[in-house]
Amino acid sequence: MVGGDEAKPLGGRPMEPEAFTDNEDIISALPIKSHLVSLEAARFSLPTIKRLIPLLQSMQDQATALTEELNILMDGMLPEDPHIVEISDLLAKIVVEWQATNAAATASGAILSSIDPAIVEWYSVIDGRLALFCWNEGEADIEWFHWPEDGCLSRRPILEA
């Protein structure tokens, strides 16, 4: 122990979340609408998430461009101008589509921490502690985790049996 802090291992072994459904310390630490996911379940959801990420990135880019265009147009036009209404309607449509796509990506318990570059996390249990599996865009598989208090920059390898 250094400075009173518990020493943290460099890697960790994933545990089945079902074993912790009655563990009030772990369950109460989960954010609202979050749930524990096994490594197998996270890996099962990854191909779908990988397929949806480019769509989310594209929609984000489109929404950003339309928002910038609206900001420029609003300097010289009234809000009811047909061109502004058209762009606003298109932006609203993209937002609704983004929300639906995001819901599909996160249905498995995934958390999209960043869209571009994509960083995806899933709450789980490592060595009896609440942790997050972490996958970054470009990685082939989920091989890393981090403690919630440490964040993605402190990722550690998942140790599998």
Q: What is the pLDDT of residue 2?
A: 38
Q: What is the pLDDT of residue 1?
A: 36
pLDDT of residue 3: 42
Query: What is the predicted pLDDT for the residue at 101?
Result: 96
Chunked mean pLDDT (size 10), the chain, 161 residues: 50 79 79 89 96 97 96 90 94 97 93 95 91 96 94 90 69
| Cα separations in angstroms, 148 against 116, 144, 154 | 21, 13, 10
Whole-angstrom distance, CA of residue 53 vs CA of residue 46:
10
pLDDT at 26: 81
pTM of the model: 0.83
Q: Which helix (H) or strand (E) holds 41?
A: helix 39-73
CB 104 within 8 A of CB 83: no
Q: Which string of DSSP letters, residue by residue, matches 50-71?
A: HHHHHHHHHHHHHHHHHHHHHH
